[in-house]
Amino acid sequence: MIGVVATLKVQPAKASEFEKVFLDLAAKVKANEPGCLMYQLTKSRTEEGVYKVLEVYASADALKAHGSTEYFKAAGAAMGPTMAAAPSIEYLDGVE
């Protein structure tokens, strides 16, 4: 199992545009990726424009498959102009 915490800094004026694109992506992930066990968008309570995606994958293969889908690449391109900084992605090893 692999965990991911993706921290995304969004331009506050573009937050609703970002959320729309991300939630559409999340719906596609849930519909198509049985190896993705959690893909939850959350928002910081203390820092404006800061989102964290809490992700859990059943395996390294499931994580790799996620990143190689056409809809993931398309969402990344669509979210790019809403970002205030480069994303920060932390990979974590599941303990079972």
Give per-residue burial for 58-82: e unless 16+ CB within 10 Å, then b.
eeeebbebbeeeeebeebeebbeeb
Which residue type does 93 have? Answer: D
Is position 1 an interface residue for a copy of itself (rule: CB under 8 A)?
yes
Is position 93 an interface residue for a copy of itself (rule: CB under 8 A)?
yes
Q: Of 41, 58, 62, 65, which lies in the binding site for a copy of itself, with binding defined by CB under 8 A?
A: 41
Binders of a copy of itself among residues 53 to 72 (CB under 8 A) are 54, 56
Q: Of 14, 52, 78, 87, which lies in the binding site for a copy of itself, with binding defined by CB under 8 A?
A: 52
**What's the full length of the chain, in residues?**
96
Structure tokens at 2: 């692999």
Residues 6+ apart with CB under 8 A from 31: none
Is position 13 an interface residue for a copy of itself (rule: CB under 8 A)?
no
The residues that touch a copy of itself, with contacts defined as CB under 8 A, are 1-3, 5, 19, 22-23, 37-38, 40-45, 51-52, 54, 56, 91-96
